[in-house]
């Protein structure tokens, strides 16, 4: 059966149950109790039949669900002549599946928002005119017209004097950002100002927005371990229910007591509370630009105790500026930069991109590199103008040249170092400044408030650099000089003492992100948004979204647990009351209805979680202004 058919069947069953109940009540009120009973029976039978088929199906898959209690209570009520109670349970059950649809729809609303904005067409300049083209025909280099209110269809850069972009749907950032000519515009944001021109830099499928959409779809399909936990609890709950029902019958000799117990125990939407709360948490986090790939990572995120941060591009700004270029072998500074930049065109490392940008800013022309080999996070080897070039961290280059001994230029505060070798000899060092991100200190303080007990730094840079940059942050320890494998080892060691979250960039730190309980990738630039290794992607290039993300995860999980515990607790109290004869089957059915609705509404509270300290953005979205 496909979705539409299932939905129709559900609506039909709800209609039958409702009509049966109301019609029966009308007959009853007009003094025709025999007819009332028949009509109630007729309203229950189809619901019960559909339910039994459903249960048979899940049992054949080896799943025991709480649906069984609903079926038991309806058949027991019918058997012992409590047709009104049976009719109420039937309505409640079919209504419950409806409530499920509604609550899930609400919970997913925020994520659906992200998806529903995907543009289908774009307006392209061609020979002085304009043409409407489908999204997947846009090629890098195309000049597009983005009208007021349009969603930016592909990643690109602004080709008009300025543009105002609203990224709130992606990042929750309320203020539009102003972009100047040449700035990168992120696909998926909305043009909040006048029409402007955009030069596409990526195809639609490689753009940020496509990555986000893939992520969201993936998140929507996942099932949480806690939802499975609720399934597992159901066996115990089922046993307790049946035991109390039989005990009540045994001691009083009155089967109606057992019916009342079963009816109170029918916890149809209760089990939905967990997925609803968790999905609402995902939605809420997405609203703030924290894309969590599913309920499972959300739960893991709620439990982490150790945080490992990468340095370059995570704790620091990641767009370093060249401070000085020291020559060791007589080569001129511009030549050193030119060799390094030409080779680094092949690398996605943030340092590499900064070097390329600096060389272009100096008007150097960069030949294409050949025979490139990159060790991600360490450096690159290749050939430029028939000369052998190496660019990368100091150790990486020192191990591959003959003249490296003791060549350590002085580092200024907030700096990093890139070594360049040409034809097997160290040509020089580039000293670069890479300051901490604004608000890094506050972010760490907030994380401590969230109960993160250990915060570590993992970097491929030298220990002196790492020490200096992170001075005063109060990190628990600093691990420097790590290769990407070294970061993986650190994650594995830390996991022995508690669940670990690793934050880094989705490219160089991918192995460490994959090794952690929760891997968080910074910034969804380009297709990196779908970074496979990460469980969480920060759509905003701001590390201060981590603490709010964790807060949302914790609260959503709390609300889920609370709903389950309160719902089951109240049901058990009701069952005991029914066993002692304080609740008739009809009263029991109504009581359970109230409990179920309350529990679902409670779960929906997760949609309103507002993490502390997020509503006052200090700086604009950096991902959109670079």
User: Catalytic residues, which ones?
Assistant: 310
**Residue 347 in contact with ligand ADP, rule: CB under 6 A:** yes
Reference 489, options 512, 513, 466, 461; nearest CA is 512
How many residues lie near Mg ion (CB under 5 A)?
Answer: 4
**Residue 378 in contact with ligand ADP, rule: CB under 6 A:** yes
**Residue 190 in contact with ligand ADP, rule: CB under 6 A:** no
Q: How many helices (H) and strands (E) does the chain have?
A: 20, 22
Phi–psi pair at 550, nearest 5 degrees: -65, -40
Adjacent-strand bridge partners of 383: 370, 388
In angstroms, the CA 134 to CA 142 distance is 13
Partner interacting with residue 626 (select from Mg ion, ligand ADP, none; CB below 5-8 Å by kind):
none
**Residue 596 in contact with ligand ADP, rule: CB under 6 A:** no
Distance of CA 437 to the CA centre of its chain: 23
Contact (Cβ atoms closer than 8 angstroms) between residue 197 and residue 231: no
**Residue 450 in contact with Mg ion, rule: CB under 5 A:** no
Please, which residue, 110 or 505, has the CB nearer to Mg ion?
Answer: 505
In angstroms, the CA 212 to CA 155 distance is 13
**Residue 461 in contact with Mg ion, rule: CB under 5 A:** no
**Residue 393 in contact with ligand ADP, rule: CB under 6 A:** yes
Site for Mg ion in 480-519 (CB under 5 A): 505
Site for ligand ADP in 452-471 (CB under 6 A): 459-461
3-class SS of residue 347: coil
**Residue 188 in contact with Mg ion, rule: CB under 5 A:** no
Burial (CB count within 10 angstroms: exposed 0-12, middle 13-18, buried 19+), residue 339: buried
* Residue 603 CB, nearest approach to ligand ADP (Å): 39
Q: What is the DSSP string of 228-261?
A: HHHHHHHHHHHHHHHHHHHHHHHHH--HHHHHHH
**Residue 319 in contact with ligand ADP, rule: CB under 6 A:** no
Adjacent-strand bridge partners of 196: 146
**Residue 351 in contact with ligand ADP, rule: CB under 6 A:** yes
* Residue 331 CB, nearest approach to Mg ion (Å): 28
**Residue 344 in contact with ligand ADP, rule: CB under 6 A:** yes
**Residue 384 in contact with ligand ADP, rule: CB under 6 A:** no
**Residue 603 in contact with ligand ADP, rule: CB under 6 A:** no
In angstroms, the CA 308 to CA 478 distance is 10
In angstroms, the CA 486 to CA 399 distance is 17
How many residues lie near ligand ADP (CB under 6 A)?
Answer: 23
Partner interacting with residue 600 (select from Mg ion, ligand ADP, none; CB below 5-8 Å by kind):
none
Please, which residue, 32 or 408, has the CB nearer to ligand ADP?
Answer: 408
**Residue 623 in contact with ligand ADP, rule: CB under 6 A:** no
Burial (CB count within 10 angstroms: exposed 0-12, middle 13-18, buried 19+), residue 75: middle
Provide CB contacts within 8 A for 158, sequence distance 6+.
Answer: 179, 180, 181, 182, 183, 185, 196, 197, 198
For residue 226, what are its two tokens? Answer: 């806690």
Partner interacting with residue 43 (select from ligand ADP, Mg ion, none; CB below 5-8 Å by kind):
none
Q: Which residue has the tokens 């109790």?
A: 33
* Residue 530 CB, nearest approach to ligand ADP (Å): 21
Burial (CB count within 10 angstroms: exposed 0-12, middle 13-18, buried 19+), residue 233: middle
Partner interacting with residue 289 (select from Mg ion, ligand ADP, none; CB below 5-8 Å by kind):
none
In angstroms, the CA 530 to CA 537 distance is 8
**Residue 523 in contact with ligand ADP, rule: CB under 6 A:** no
* Residue 504 CB, nearest approach to ligand ADP (Å): 7
Q: Cα dihedral angle (187, 192, 198, 201), rounded to 10 degrees?
A: -20
Burial (CB count within 10 angstroms: exposed 0-12, middle 13-18, buried 19+), residue 507: buried
Specify the DSSP class assigned to residue 151. Answer: B
**Residue 353 in contact with Mg ion, rule: CB under 5 A:** no
Partner interacting with residue 418 (select from Mg ion, ligand ADP, none; CB below 5-8 Å by kind):
ligand ADP
* Residues 123-162, mask of contacts with Mg ion (x by CB under 5 A): ----------------------------------------
**Residue 313 in contact with Mg ion, rule: CB under 5 A:** yes
**Residue 502 in contact with ligand ADP, rule: CB under 6 A:** no
* Residues 211-250, mask of contacts with ligand ADP (x by CB under 6 A): ----------------------------------------
In angstroms, the CA 217 to CA 90 distance is 34
Residue nearest to ligand ADP (CB): 460
**Residue 585 in contact with ligand ADP, rule: CB under 6 A:** no
Distances (CA, A) of 600 to 132, 288, 606: 46, 24, 11
Q: Of the candidates 418, 426, 452, 556, which one interacts with ligand ADP according to CB under 6 A?
A: 418
Site for ligand ADP in 282-311 (CB under 6 A): 310-311
Q: Of the candidates 392, 414, 519, 588, which one interacts with ligand ADP according to CB under 6 A?
A: 392
* Residue 546 CB, nearest approach to Mg ion (Å): 15
Provide CB contacts within 8 A for 236, sequence distance 6+.
Answer: none
**Residue 310 in contact with Mg ion, rule: CB under 5 A:** yes
**Residue 312 in contact with Mg ion, rule: CB under 5 A:** yes
* Residue 460 CB, nearest approach to Mg ion (Å): 7
**Residue 187 in contact with ligand ADP, rule: CB under 6 A:** no
Q: Of the candidates 391, 422, 488, 568, which one interacts with ligand ADP according to CB under 6 A?
A: 391
Site for Mg ion, rule CB under 5 A: 310, 312-313, 505
Positions that interact with ligand ADP (CB under 6 A): 310-313, 344, 347, 349, 351-352, 377-380, 391-393, 416-418, 459-461, 508
């Amino acid at each position: 059966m496909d979705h539409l058919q299932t939905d129709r069947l559900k609506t039909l069953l709800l209609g039958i149950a409702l009509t049966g109940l109301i019609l029966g009540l009308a007959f009853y009120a007009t003094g025709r109790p025999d007819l009332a009973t028949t009509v109630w029976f007729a309203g229950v039978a189809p619901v019960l039949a559909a339910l039994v088929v459903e249960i048979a199906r899940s049992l054949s898959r080896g799943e025991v669900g709480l649906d069984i209690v609903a079926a038991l209570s309806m058949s027991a009520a019918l058997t012992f002549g409590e047709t009104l109670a049976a009719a109420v349970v039937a309505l409640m059950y079919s209504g419950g599946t409806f409530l499920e649809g509604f609550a899930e729809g609400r919970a997913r609303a925020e994520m659906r928002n992200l998806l529903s904005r995907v543009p289908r067409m774009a307006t392209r300049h061609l020979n002085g005119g304009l043409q409407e083209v489908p999204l997947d025909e846009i090629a890098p280099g195309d000049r597009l017209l983005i009208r007021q209110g349009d969603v930016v269809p592909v990643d690109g850069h602004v080709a008009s004097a300025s543009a105002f972009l609203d990224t709130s749907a992606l990042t929750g950032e309320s203020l539009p950002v102003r972009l100047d000519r040449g700035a990168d515009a992120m696909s998926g944001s909305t043009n909040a100002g006048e029409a402007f021109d955009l030069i596409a830099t990526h195809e639609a499928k490689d753009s940020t927005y496509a990555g986000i959409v893939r992520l969201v779809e993936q998140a929507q399909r996942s099932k949480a371990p806690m939802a499975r936990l609720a399934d597992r609890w159901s066996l115990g709950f089922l046993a307790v229910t049946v035991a109390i029902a039989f005990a009540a019958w045994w001691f009083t000799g009155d089967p109606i007591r057992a019916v009342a117990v079963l009816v109170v125990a029918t916890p149809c939407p209760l089990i939905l509370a967990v997925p609803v709360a968790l999905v609402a948490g995902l939605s809420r986090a997405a609203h703030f630009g924290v894309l969590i790939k599913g309920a499972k990572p959300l739960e893991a995120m709620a439990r982490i105790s150790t945080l490992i941060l990468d340095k370059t591009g995570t704790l620091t700004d990641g767009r370093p500026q060249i401070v000085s270029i020291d020559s060791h072998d007589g080569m001129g500074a511009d030549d050193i930069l030119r060799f390094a930049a030409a080779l680094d065109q092949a690398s996605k490392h943030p340092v590499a991109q900064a070097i390329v940008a600096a060389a272009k800013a100096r008007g150097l022309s960069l030949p294409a590199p050949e025979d490139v080999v990159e060790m991600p996070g360490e450096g690159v080897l290749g050939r430029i103008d028939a000369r052998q070039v190496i660019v990368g961290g100091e150790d990486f280059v020192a191990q591959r040249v003959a003249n490296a001994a003791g060549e350590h230029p002085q580092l200024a505060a907030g700096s990093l170092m890139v070594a360049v070798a040409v034809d097997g000899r160290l040509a020089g060092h580039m000293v670069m400044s890479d300051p901490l991100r604004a608000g890094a200190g506050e972010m760490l303080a907030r994380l401590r408030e969230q109960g993160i007990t250990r915060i570590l730094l993992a970097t491929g840079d030298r220990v002196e650099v790492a020490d200096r940059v992170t001075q005063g942050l109060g990190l628990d320890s600093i691990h420097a000089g790590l290769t990407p494998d070294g970061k993986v080892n650190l994650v594995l060691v830390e996991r022995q003492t508690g669940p670990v979250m690793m934050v880094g960039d989705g490219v160089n730190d991918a192995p460490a992100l994959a090794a952690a309980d929760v891997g968080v990738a910074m910034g969804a630039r380009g297709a990196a948004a779908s970074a496979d290794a990460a469980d969480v992607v920060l759509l905003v290039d701001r590390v201060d979204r981590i603490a709010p993300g964790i807060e949302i995860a914790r609260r959503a999980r709390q609300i889920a647990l609370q709903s389950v515990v309160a719902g089951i607790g109240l049901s058990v109290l009701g069952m005991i009351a029914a066993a002692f004869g304080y609740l008739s089957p009809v009263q029991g059915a109504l009581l359970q209805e109230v409990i179920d609705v309350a529990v679902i509404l409670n779960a929906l509270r997760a949609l309103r979680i507002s993490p502390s300290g997020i509503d006052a953005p200090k700086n604009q979205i950096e991902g959109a202004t670079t």
